[in-house]
Structure 1
Amino acid sequence: MTWLIDKSPTLYERLAVEHKRIEAAMVLLAPGSKRNELLQKLRQLDIAAQTNEWLSSPGLRAPL
């Protein structure tokens, strides 16, 4: 019997989905404060993804 496992998306996957959603919303906006806010959110998502990748890396060790 095969069991179906309900796997929730990883943080990286959730960040990627949100990144795509914001990029799609930006296409509809003219330059201005709302578009700038979305650009800032994209930068934050990129930093979060990079930090998550770094923290998840196998070479990371606890400080001595």
Structure 2
Amino acid sequence: MQKRRRFKQVLTLQERLTAWTEETKAQAAKLPPGPERDALIKKVRQDDVASHLDDWAKSPGLQPPT
């Protein structure tokens, strides 16, 4: 059986998502309008949704099921 590779993350998920979003936005800004730029913009939107979901999941208003 193979051993799992485990990585200790230095940055939080929120920090990694934010950094990746900024980098991808910069790449998209350099491209001319077209399918490649649209794909990058779509990924940025997906990252934004993931960020909001992470915020929601960590919100103090959530209660565990009883």
Say whether the fold is shared (TM-score over 0.5).
yes
* Match among 48, 51, 62 for residue 49 of structure 1: 51
How many angstroms apart in 2 are the aligned matches of 1:34 and 1:9? 29
Q: Which structure exhibits the higher relative contact order, with contacts defined as CA atoms closer than 8 Å and separated by 6 or more residues?
A: 1
* Match among 14, 17, 35 for residue 16 of structure 2: 14
TM-score (structure 1 length as normaliser)? 0.83
Q: Establish whether residue 32 from structure 1 lines up as the match of residue 34 from structure 2.
A: yes
Moved over 6 A (4+): none
Structure 2 residues without counterparts, runs of 5 or longer? 1-8
Q: Offset of 1:63 from its aligned partner?
A: 3.1
CA-based RMSD of the aligned residues comes to 1.3
Identity of aligned residues (%): 38
Number of positions where the alignment pairs a residue of Structure 1 with one of Structure 2: 58
How many angstroms apart in 1 are the aligned matches of 2:64 and 2:42? 31
Q: Offset of 1:10 from its aligned partner?
A: 0.5
Structure 1 residues without counterparts, runs of 5 or longer? 1-6
How many angstroms apart in 2 are the aligned matches of 1:42 and 1:23? 7
TM-score (structure 2 length as normaliser)? 0.81
